[in-house]
Structure 1
Amino acid sequence: MNIFIKPFLSLILLFTVAIGYSQTEKFTRADTLRGSITPERGWWDLNYYHLDVEIFPDTKSISGTNTVRYQVKEEHQVLQIDLQEPLKIIAARQDGQELMIRKEGAAHFIKLSKKQVPGTFEEIIISYEGQPKEAVRPPWDGGITWQKDDNGKHFIASSNQGIGSSIWWPSKDHPADEVDSMLISVTLPKDLMNISNGRLRKVEKKGKTRTYHWFVSNPINDYGVNINIGDYVHFSEKYPGEKGELDMEYYVLKNNLEKAKVQFQDARRMMEAFEHWFGPYPFYEDSYKLVEAPYLGMEHQSSVTYGNGYQNGYRGTDLSGTGWGLKFDFIIIHESGHEWFANNITYKDVADMWIHESFTNYSESLFVEYFYGKEAGQEYVRGTRTRIENKLPIIGRYSVNHKGSGDMYYKGGNILNMLRQILDDDEKWRQILRGLNREFYHQTVTTEQVENYISRESGLNLENFFNQYLRNVSIPTLEYYFSDEETLHYRWGNSINSFDMPVDIAIGTETMRISPTTQWQQTKVKKSGSLTVDPDYYVGSFRLR
């Protein structure tokens, strides 16, 4: 069965206009304050956070401080810190002096008294308190999840990629500037445990409370910072990885320990497959943790959260419809794949979220391929095409906290798989994937950087390819006809005017690669007949006559 676009659908696509986001779509000043490098953000570079908070489960409230250390890049006297209502900043201090704060929505503009000298390091301490927004449908609707486990113990977690870290703690809530290192101190009732990013330094006992101090030694994106609170038990293993011995730590609710010891074996398989494809796990110094959470799961750096019910697939279903998706636990594989694409390589602007989700969606098929063979992986990625909508572009609008369409997942995975097919050199493609994680190690990046790297390393001019598939919604259709038994005429239709991409076809038993543009071309063939496009290309085909 052909899984590329069928001819009758291609007829419709011939008249589809390549569209982008509406130029009349309205964005607010709040969107700009959240999504752009404002003057009050641009002059200082994050160096260190100490987030020190106490959690009050019975009242669903929080209070604490965040110490923000930064390096001054240029003279400026106003600094922007973000915190979303209903939480409130009580005070901001520098060198013991309380500072004036002007609030505009979630943005808090703090006027500094001390002259800010370029090259120096300074600190500001933010005190805050309140009841943070409760997540209604985590992780898509972010905030704090307050639940109880089967034994009546509190089960609490944060998740905030879309809504922002400032939903529960005061931060420089923009992805372009990652903090270099961070200490996370969480105080809570003594019968509970907190698991956060990095490594546990110590646990302080204070009467009826315990304070857990977790230190992150690598740069971390703000949405990756998390708390996970519950009546946890712990088990672990050592993994002989590419950079040496890696600590793999697992935290689950007591009742689920035996199930977790079986299901979490996928974490070790994940590490083996992804170190092969993407290079060394990027955070050896901070360990790898898989932590049970009261929601589906999320890619928090070195503290990946899990709530898939200890079953294979995505909540027990195969997103590819091929059967291969039931060979692994989707949440363990997908969310851990983000350690390379999201946490190691992080977008500078949420409009480029495809860098996170397209590569990580693609990682699922690479996992399948590693353990079950190349054709199995190809079947998996092709099977996900039924979920592509092609309504809006994959890339969103810049500087207004606007992400692209959900096609960044399944369409994005198919785009990357198609690049591999065009390159037609599997080892070179693997080295490109590994090279991305080496070239942009612990960095924030733009789409342009990723495009340029793949183009340079592949030796291909991919400008039109990326413009077609990332910034438009029409799917190119190979239009063709035979003028006689030995002459094939062909071109790309339903595409941008400059589109050009080689494609592998078969005519009867003859296979060949042609390089269509949007202008008619022709080539000699052995004999006219039924033409099929290699199914690993996400394109349509239509015989005109």
Structure 2
Amino acid sequence: MKQTILILGLLIFNIVSSIAQTFDRQDSLRGSITPERAWWDLKHYKLMVSVDPDSRSIQGSNTITYRVLQPESVMQIDLQAPMKIDSVIHDKKLLTFTSEGSAHYIQFPKEQSKDGEEQLTIHFSGAPRVARRPPWDGGFTWQKDANGKPFVANANQGIGASVWWPNKDHPYDEPDRGVQLSITVPKDLVAVGNGRLVGTNESTNGTTWHWNVSNPINNYGVNINIGDYVHFGETYKGLKGDLDMDYWVLRDNEAKAKKQFQQTAGMMEAFEHWFGPYPFYEDSFKLVEVPYLGMEHQSSVTYGNNYGNGYLGNDLSGTGWGLKFDFIIIHEAGHEWFANNITNQDVADMWLHEGFTAYSENLYLDYHFGKEAAADYVIGTRRMIQNDRPIIGTYHVSHEGSSDMYYKGANILHTLRQLLEDDQKWRSILVGLNKDFYHQTVSSAMVEKYISKAAGIDLTEFWGQYLRTTMIPLVEYKIEGNRLSFRYEDVIKGFDMPVIAVINGKEEWIFPTSEWKSRTFSETIQSMEIKRDFYVNSEKLE
């Protein structure tokens, strides 16, 4: 019981409530595509940041390159207090702005010309919010390592990147040409960012580490990590050629990291098999040690799992299979395909990130340990499902669905695999998603439609039942000799998912609906159960 309570506590990844939630104007300004966001298309960020660990403050600038879609003169930029905008410069002129909470409205002297490409630079400074429970309740984490040196990182998936730097803080628009990230830190420290290291330079202010991301990147994936790091790496022979895999860890942990990170190549092999090529060969792959559990920062996956298998040493499934891999390496790297390659347009659809990536844990086991091990694991994680709220949240107000998006999402996908009865087709769908939605932002509806079409199955009610309600389908059944009667309860109208019944040890497909149906077998029914791979409940009626 004690271990179960511990794991339940660990697995509540997002702090959510089952009670009704109200939303205010700040939620709408953050979560909707406002007119002041809609008229411009983000092309590139040039982000320069100087970090002072002693004062726990930062200052810098962000030069935003954008294309004008419609002539307008007011732009929304987001930055959360206590960070502040010091100045805004466009065409060498200082612009004025007004603020409404975290939304700042920059006023251009005239309408921007349609189809033109423009730049403006925002200077900012302040002491960013200290993370309370990173990465979920995020901000900056300021710690010291065992030798007393600063150990600093940001993580801001839920709270948003605007907690520390000014940007277009909505997931629908990503910089098409990536991010140039320069981080200045004290001379005895190393600063690691996303993408590839392109150089360093020293000044009286410290050392500046220059990183470059050439691919589109979601705002919350931009990160800076500062510490007394050492570096090692390897070259992985992948589906698109040589992939640089780099590791940045605290000096005292190098030996442990070299042992634990041997799992990384096996992760990449499994995920390229199931999902297709790693999406960011141009920007490399890296693991970076941080002073919190870890997060899926694009091409810069952060790691803090104490160099051990499981989730902080625990098996989330209770089956033993969760101790066969390092949860943070596998789960957070899985996000490179689902979250970083394929990104939700609205955080209400974050199950696309977390459900598919929780499922990737299952597929890693499938690849290396077999199908039964994978099934044991994903079915074991059902004990974490609360069914407190639907896993799709409320649109346009920056509101995620239930934390069930993780392992309910994984079990939805595991159930869907059973319906296809064709693992090659299922694999082709997962690879196809990453190919056809390559470097795109998408909605749940788009993914639902894609899978339905590729599977050749009308999954409308399937998605509606599992994503938009908290009801778990209940198969009620009665046995009379060799006759089996069955129906669904706790389902939406039209839900008719077939399931496999194991009758006298033999698998048989049955096709329940909300109305009673019957099927007669050649022998008296001695035993009957629904195959465990289907995420349904069952009850025998006398």
What TM-score does the superposition give when structure 2 sets the normalisation length?
0.95
Q: Does 1:54 align with 2:44?
A: no
Distance 1:123 1:515 in 2: 59
Q: Does 1:110 align with 2:106?
A: yes
* Structure 2 counterparts to residues 32-431 of structure 1, below 5 A: 32-180=28-176, 181-431=178-428
Contact 2:362 2:374 in 1 (8 A): yes
Report what 2:13 is aligned to.
none
Query: Helix, strand or coil for the counterpart of 1:412?
Result: helix
Which residue identity is paired with 2:71?
E
Selected match of 1:510 from 506, 510, 514: 506
Report what 1:460 is aligned to.
457
Of residues 503-512 and 192-201 in structure 1, the stretch that sits farther from structure 2 once superposed is 503-512
Which residue identity is paired with 1:522?
S
Which residue identity is paired with 1:298?
M
Query: Helix, strand or coil for the counterpart of 1:220?
Result: coil
Contact 1:175 1:347 in 2 (8 A): yes
Contact 1:190 1:210 in 2 (8 A): yes
Of residues 278-287 and 500-509 in structure 1, the stretch that sits farther from structure 2 once superposed is 500-509
Q: CA deviation at 1:193?
A: 0.8
Contact 2:184 2:205 in 1 (8 A): no
Report what 1:26 is aligned to.
22
Report what 1:14 is aligned to.
none
Report what 2:8 is aligned to.
none
**C-alpha root-mean-square deviation of aligned residues, in Å?**
1.2
Selected match of 2:483 from 479, 487, 510: 487
Query: Helix, strand or coil for the counterpart of 1:362?
Result: helix
Q: CA deviation at 1:532?
A: 0.5
CA deviations 1:417-458 (Å, max 9, x no partner) are: 000011111111011111110010000000011001110011
Contact 2:505 2:527 in 1 (8 A): no
Query: Helix, strand or coil for the counterpart of 1:301?
Result: coil
Of residues 133-142 and 34-43 in structure 1, the stretch that sits farther from structure 2 once superposed is 133-142
Contact 1:34 1:174 in 2 (8 A): yes
Distance 1:207 1:75 in 2: 43
Which residue identity is paired with 1:84?
Q
Report what 1:449 is aligned to.
446
Query: Helix, strand or coil for the counterpart of 1:512?
Result: strand
Distance 1:509 1:123 in 2: 68
Q: CA deviation at 1:384?
A: 0.4
Contact 1:21 1:393 in 2 (8 A): no
Q: CA deviation at 1:21?
A: 7.7
Report what 1:499 is aligned to.
495
Distance 1:226 1:208 in 2: 21
Contact 1:165 1:222 in 2 (8 A): yes
Q: CA deviation at 1:207?
A: 3.1
CA deviations 1:205-247 (Å, max 9, x no partner) are: 1135111111100000000000000110000100000000000
Report what 1:519 is aligned to.
515
Query: Helix, strand or coil for the counterpart of 2:54?
Result: helix
Which residue identity is paired with 1:518?
S
CA deviations 1:243-279 (Å, max 9, x no partner) are: 0000000000000000000000111110011001100
Report what 2:11 is aligned to.
none
Q: CA deviation at 1:509?
A: 3.1
Q: CA deviation at 1:136?
A: 1.8
What TM-score does the superposition give when structure 1 sets the normalisation length?
0.95
Corresponding pairs, count: 524
CA deviations 1:395-415 (Å, max 9, x no partner) are: 000000000001001111111
CA deviations 1:364-422 (Å, max 9, x no partner) are: 01111111111011101011011111111100000000000010011111110000011
Contact 1:80 1:108 in 2 (8 A): yes
Which residue identity is paired with 2:28?
T
Unaligned runs of 5+ in 2: 1-16
Contact 2:161 2:220 in 1 (8 A): yes
Query: Helix, strand or coil for the counterpart of 1:58?
Result: coil
Q: Does 1:475 align with 2:472?
A: yes
Contact 1:346 1:356 in 2 (8 A): yes
Query: Helix, strand or coil for the counterpart of 2:309?
Result: coil
Query: Helix, strand or coil for the counterpart of 1:453?
Result: helix
Higher RCO structure, 1 or 2 (CA under 8 Å, sep 6+): 1
Distance 1:351 1:285 in 2: 30
Q: CA deviation at 1:518?
A: 1.0
Which residue identity is paired with 2:414?
N
Distance 2:521 2:448 in 1: 34
Report what 1:531 is aligned to.
528
Q: Percent identity?
A: 58
Report what 1:13 is aligned to.
none
1:452–1:214 distance in 2 versus 1, CA, 3 Å? same
Report what 1:4 is aligned to.
none
Q: CA deviation at 1:188?
A: 1.1
Distance 1:514 1:402 in 2: 38
Which residue identity is paired with 2:271?
F
Contact 1:279 1:434 in 2 (8 A): yes
Distance 1:511 1:60 in 2: 62
